[in-house]
Structure 1
Amino acid sequence: MKNSPYPAILRLGLTIAAVLSPPAPLWADDGTAARDQALARRINALDAEFFAAFNACDVDRHLAMVDEDLEFYHDKGGFTKGRGGMERMARERCTSGRPKLRRELVEGSLQVHPVPGHGAIQEGSHRFYVTEQDGGERLIEIARFVHVWEDGSAGWKIVRALSFDHRSP
């Protein structure tokens, strides 16, 4: 560095200091990873509870986990606003005499992202099976989903839901 404004001895000292200094951590361990893992476990458990009620046609338990002002966006069924719309769909599905529908989470697909001061964004993939007359099940659809969970005074509730990319298996 011929035209450097710093004397050679200063450049040498800075170089030695840089080489001998311990590397700075890329991030500080402030407990964030542990909190994120705990949140992911909590959302996983909520997802399992929510869809156990869906699969069992326990409409009241299923609806207890959605916010009164839920917004549900479905790339095939359109837009549904409010818990009442979800209730109509669930009761029709469970009492219409149509073949039973079962949802199954695609293992390893669930991701949870914290929303500080609010809750979490959950995304993943799931499969839907229909029960045949002989009692067997048939995979009918695979889709992706996003749920926005809010941790409010009434507990965890889904406030927004997106179900999209529905495709045949």
Structure 2
Amino acid sequence: MKKSSVFYVIFLFFLFLLFPLNNLNAQVEKDSPLFLTLKKNDSLLFEQGYNSCDIKVFEELVSPDFEFYHDKGGITASKEDFLESVRMGICKPGSSKDPRILLPESVEVFPLYDNGVLYAAIQKGMHMFGNTTARFTHLWVKEANGWKVSRVLSYDHIED
């Protein structure tokens, strides 16, 4: 075996020691506790919060440092601004909106670790509002009093 081949084999060996395959942060299974927790929170956020205009749900599930990025509506840079836009927009008395319908088969959850400790998770998928389909990415952060949505990306809105 050539000297360069031996070096290559040793390099690969140490690479696998440093980055074991079982520690890669792949998406979690749909029956995992993390997936089910975020699925429940997503349902609360949209079924009760958005579809039913229960502002208290948003107050509970939205992180104090919340930011919302929308490809059509721009940036909402704080929890307070978000809650105000909900109160004065989609949930203003007399207003109408299309309910949010999650496309459950599209949802994926990716855990985020810091030195082996789960601190956050990315939830992404697709949903519909009337005849518009869109993608979403949510950053859920594990706080002392439960999982809170900290960042929301809402993008790729396509009318059917």
Give TM-score, length-normalised by structure 2: 0.75
Match of 1:74 in 2: 70
Q: Which runs of 4+ in 1 moved over 6 A?
A: none
Residues 41-120 of structure 1 mapped to structure 2, 5 A cutoff: 41-53=36-48, 54-92=50-88, 93-116=90-113, 117-120=118-121
Task: Provide the C-alpha distance between the structure 2 equivalents of 1:121 and 1:151, rounded to a whole number of angstroms.
Answer: 11
SS at match of 1:118: strand
After superposition, the CA RMSD in angstroms is 2.6
Unaligned runs of 5+ in 2: 3-19
Identity %: 35
Match of 1:164 in 2: 155
Match of 2:123 in 1: 122
Bigger-Rg structure (1/2)? 1
Match of 2:10 in 1: none
How big is each residue's C-alpha offset from its partner over 1:74-130, in whole Å with a ceiling of 9 and x where there is no partner? 0011011111111111112111522233111012010000011312000000001xx
One-letter amino acid matched to 2:135? R
**8 Å CA contact 2:58, 2:83 repeated in 1:** no
Unaligned runs of 5+ in 1: 6-25, 129-138
| Stretch deviating more after TM superposition (95-104 or 80-89) | 95-104
How big is each residue's C-alpha offset from its partner over 1:4-33, in whole Å with a ceiling of 9 and x where there is no partner? 79xxxxxxxxxxxxxxxxxxxx9669xx96
Q: How many residues align?
A: 134
Task: Provide the C-alpha distance between the structure 2 equivalents of 1:104 and 1:77, rounded to a whole number of angstroms.
Answer: 19
SS at match of 1:109: strand
